[in-house]
Amino acid sequence: MSDSSDLSATCESGAPVSAGVAGMPQVGNIWLDGRMVPAKEAKVSVFDHGLLYGDGCFEGIRVYNSRIFKLRSHLKRMYASAESIHLKPRWSMDEIEDAIRMTVSDNDIENGYVRLVFTRGVGTLGLNPFHCTEHTAFVIAADIALYPEELYRNGLPVVVAKRRRIPIECLNPEIKSLNYLNNILAKVEAIEAGVLEAIMLNARGEVAECTGDNIFLIKDGKISTPDLTAGMLHGITRQFVIEEVAPSIGHTVEERPHTVDEFFEADEVFLTGTAAEVIGVNRIDSTDIGNGRVGPITTELTAKFRSFVREDATEN
Residues 112-135: tens digit of each pLDDT: 999 999 999 999 999 999 999 899
Residue 177, domain extent: 149-311
On whether residue 177 sits in a domain, the answer given is yes
Confidence of residue 65 (pLDDT cuts 50, 70, 90): very high
In this model, does residue 24 exceed pLDDT 70? no
User: How many angstroms from the chain centroid is the CA of residue 200?
Assistant: 15
**Count of helix runs (H) and strand runs (E) in the chain:** 9, 17
Please give the pLDDT value at position 308.
Answer: 93
Last residue of a domain, one of 117, 143, 169: 143
Whether residues 130 and 185 fall in one domain = no
Whether residues 69 and 94 fall in one domain = yes
For strands 67-68 and 112-119, give the pairing: unpaired
The most distant pair of C-alpha atoms in the chain lies apart, rounded to whole Å, by 57
Please give the pLDDT value at position 34.
Answer: 96
Within a 13 Å sphere around the CA of 13, how many CA atoms are in the beta-carbon half?
Answer: 28
DSSP assignment of 27-93 = -SEEEETTEEEEGGG----TTBHHHHH--EEEEEEEEETTEETTHHHHHHHHHHHHHHTT---SS-H
On whether residue 70 sits in a domain, the answer given is yes
Last residue of a domain, one of 79, 111, 143: 143
On whether residue 1 sits in a domain, the answer given is no
Which residues are within 8 A (CB) of 190 and not within 5 positions of it... i.e. 6 or more apart? 158, 159, 161, 196, 197, 198, 211
In this prediction, residues 309-316 reach a mean pLDDT of 72
For residue 143, give the nearest of 8, 264, 14, 262 by alpha carbon: 8
On whether residue 316 sits in a domain, the answer given is no
Cβ atoms of 64 and 315 closer than 8 Å: no
Whether residues 201 and 268 fall in one domain = yes
In this model, does residue 27 exceed pLDDT 80? no
Catalytic, out of 176, 219, 222, 304: 176
Answer yes or no: 304 catalytic.
Answer: no
Whether residues 249 and 286 fall in one domain = yes
Please give the pLDDT value at position 316.
Answer: 62
Distance between CA atoms of residues 213 and 199, nearest Å: 9
- H-state helical runs in 214-295: 236-240, 246-248, 260-264
In this model, does residue 234 exceed pLDDT 80? yes
* CATH number of the domain enclosing 80: 3.30.470.10
pTM of the model: 0.90
Distance between CA atoms of residues 221 and 224, nearest Å: 10
Cβ atoms of 13 and 197 closer than 8 Å: yes
pLDDT tens-digit map of 245-302? 999 999 999 999 999 999 999 999 999 999 999 999 999 999 999 999 999 999 999 9
